[in-house]
Structure 1
C-alpha cells in the first residue's frame, strides 16, 4: 500500500478523475463530479509541481471539500432564475387580452388561448369581443370587456 502511495503520479490522478466523472453519468447526483474535478486538478498540478504523495492527497482533500460550498453557491444562483409562474399557468394570463370564442351568456363562455380552450366568467359579451383577464381561479378565468 505504501508503495502505491509513493508512486501516485499525474496520470493516476487524471485517470481517477475521469473514472469518477464517468461514474457520475451512471449514477447522477452531482457528488462524484466534484470529486472527479478535484482529482483532475491534483493531476494537473502534479504535472507542474511534482509534489509528494502526502501533498497530493492533501490537495485532493482540500479541493474536494472546497467543491461543496462552490456547488451550493452555483446551485443557489440557478434557483433565483426560475419561472415565477411555473405550475401556475392561469396566473400568467392575468392582464392579457384575448378574443372570445363563444359568447359569455349567463356569466359563462370560452376563450381560446394558444392551443387550449379556457372557461371564462364575466358580464354577458358577444363572441368575437376582446376581453381582458382580471383574475385566475384554478381552470376558470374571470374577464372584463375590453
Structure 2
C-alpha cells in the first residue's frame, strides 16, 4: 500500500504578474475537468472572458485569485470575489491538479479564502456548484446545501452551498 506523501502547500494571492501562470493552469483545468461546460462555453471562458485585460481590471476592483503552490509550482486555484455584499463573500471556481487531490490542497484553498474574507468582515461564504460530484468536498469542509437552481448560468443546474464563518 502506498502512503500519501505529505505535500507542503502554499497559497499565493495572484497579482497581474501571475496572470500568465494562472491562465496556464486554468486552461488545463477546463481541458481536463468541468465536463458540464460545452466546448463553446470553454472557448468563451478562455478567449473572451478570462483574458488578461479583464483579469487585470477585475483583480484591481473585485476579484481575488488564490494560487495553490506545491514545490513552488502552481497546482490549483480558487477564483472569488474580494468584496463583500451584506457581509457575504462568494467564490465561483476551485480546482486542484489531479495528482494533488485528496491531499488537502482544495480544503487549504477554501480555508485560506474563508480567512481572508473573515478578516474583511464576512459572516458567510457561498458558492454555486455545477457538478454534484463535488458535494462531498463541500460537505467535508462544513458547507451546507442551501438550495437548487435549475438551468441557471449557461443553462446548467446549480446548487447553492454556504458556510457561516
TM-score using structure 1 length: 0.26
Higher relative contact order (CA 8 A, sep 6+): 2
Identify the structure with the greater helix proportion.
Answer: 1
TM-score using structure 2 length: 0.24
